[in-house]
Amino acid sequence: MSAAEIFQHARDVFAIGAMAVGLVFVIAGATGVMRLPDFYTRMHAAGVTDTLGAELIIVGLIAQAGDWQTAAKLALVGLLLFLTSPTATHAIANAAHRSGLKPDLSHFKPKHPADAASSEGPK
Amino acid sequence: MHFLIFLVAIGVAVAMAIMLARLFAGPTLYDRVLAANSFGTKTVLFLLVFAALVGRQDAIDIALLYALINFVATIAILKFFRYRSLEIALAQMSLRKALDGEYEK
């Protein structure tokens, strides 16, 4: 096996690995947006995973791109997403906060000690 | 290699479908805006993977344009639902409210 073939295989393995990890992030973010209880937690799931997942998939595509023009255009799209995605998430969070939307804290309210003792006591 | 890129395209399409469900189900306006923005990001990713899969390089240009329009549309929707107007520039609006003393927060 020549050095060029080894380089080709290493490039393919790197591309598939980066795209697989990015896909895991994207699917996890989508699942979080569907299942989490209120707006701010959903925004956390979408905003954090979108940037990293998109960048990893684009890095994988750059690694297996044929010519340098394709790679340059992909890098440009990656740079744009890297700048605009957190900015848009921040703008949405700022707008929601300014409009008076409160986080849903009903799932995390501590129980009163008397209620906790009575509910956990022997029946 | 080709088949694995196809699997990545299927995964991104599944994520887009989940995001679309949240877009229609979202209880508040901001859930919908967030889902629309995230859906746009995933559309860009799907276009890029599609370009690599089919071998059409012009899809990358479309993805570039889509990323730009997605960001501008998100900001425009948020601006409209905050000020109920798209006519006045954001900086002028903030300045006018500051001069009127309405910009308390």
Q: How far away is chain A from the Cα of B6, in angstroms, using its nearest Cα?
A: 11
pLDDT the model gives residue A104: 79
Q: Domain segments of chain B: what residues?
A: 2-100
* B59 neighbourhood in chain A, CB within 8 Å: none
Give the pLDDT confidence of A68-107 residue by residue, as tens digits.
Answer: 999 999 999 999 999 999 999 999 999 999 888 888 777 6
Q: Lowest mean pLDDT: which of B27-36, B43-52, B86-95? A: B86-95
Confidence of residue A61 (pLDDT cuts 50, 70, 90): very high
Distance of CA A91 to the CA centre of its chain: 17
Confidence of residue A121 (pLDDT cuts 50, 70, 90): very low
Classify burial at B76, counting beta carbons within 10 Å of its beta carbon; exposed 0-12, middle 13-18, buried 19 or more: exposed
pLDDT the model gives residue B105: 46
Q: What is the pTM of this model?
A: 0.83
Give the pLDDT confidence of A12-58 residue by residue, as tens digits.
Answer: 999 999 999 999 999 999 999 999 888 999 999 988 888 899 999 99
What are φ and ψ of residue B34, in 5° steps?
-60, -45
Cβ distance A33 to B82 less than 8 Å, yes or no, reads no
Q: Lowest mean pLDDT: which of A19-28, A55-64, A113-122, B24-33? A: A113-122
Q: How far away is chain B from the Cα of A93, in angstroms, using its nearest Cα?
A: 8
